[in-house]
Structure 1
């Protein structure tokens, strides 16, 4: 089950504009679930047979993904994800492949991240020189549709990661 997309190659199958829009919107919404740390909704965005290949490990199936997310959670607090340069390609069967860059920006220390929810209309200032770009990666998501027509991530691959580890606090 490969997610290796060739973003510069011409698509093998034309992806219509509605599907392209839905796919980009879906992966952006999944990343908002990471930002707000909504693990139940996040797990629901993945297929039951999901595979996640990440520099911190591989998980297969929702049970392994749930365990992975539990360990990953601490570095998500106070971080916002910014996705760009989405490229949409045809995948196996009716699946599609979305390849994009993701920038993780620390906007608050983890210990103060909960304040972001209650102070939405206030400028937050910290001594840690924030906001700060803490990570860059290339992500490839293989999306599949459910019988109801909703998207799910079937395979997520995170690679080409560069980090500023001191800001993972």
Structure 2
């Protein structure tokens, strides 16, 4: 698989660090979000205040939202409702199917959609394969699914390789 598919278009510490102007400048009108460790801590029950405020600001500016998660429907649906977002549960990321469904639910073309997530091997790989603008965020928590801990080790090695080869500069 080509390494460029693992390269996010940008990296930020938190979702709330992203300025809405960035999306407007790029013609992005829809935002796809991973759930766990992107907009709430893994297994968490509340979206952090700064992220809730950020969502409210974007909603006021008429952006569309869709949660795309490998988690089960009841969990994803609960947070989608709280954010007035559509959702795709059991997305099987990095399959592009969930990302395509998200764009369809928002009635947008891939070039009008950004995906924001905390994992290279699911969110960024899937988003790039689907032709979306990709944004990698730092995980909100060190607590996570056991297999994700293994993925993080591999992600770190891959990020170092991508940096060394000049494919990313953050």
Name which structure has the greater RCO, CA cutoff 8 Å, separation 6+.
Answer: 2
Q: What is the TM-score when the length of structure 1 is the normalising length?
A: 0.27
In proportion to residue count, which structure has more strand? 1
Q: What is the TM-score when the length of structure 2 is the normalising length?
A: 0.27
Q: Which of the pair has more CA radius of gyration?
A: 1
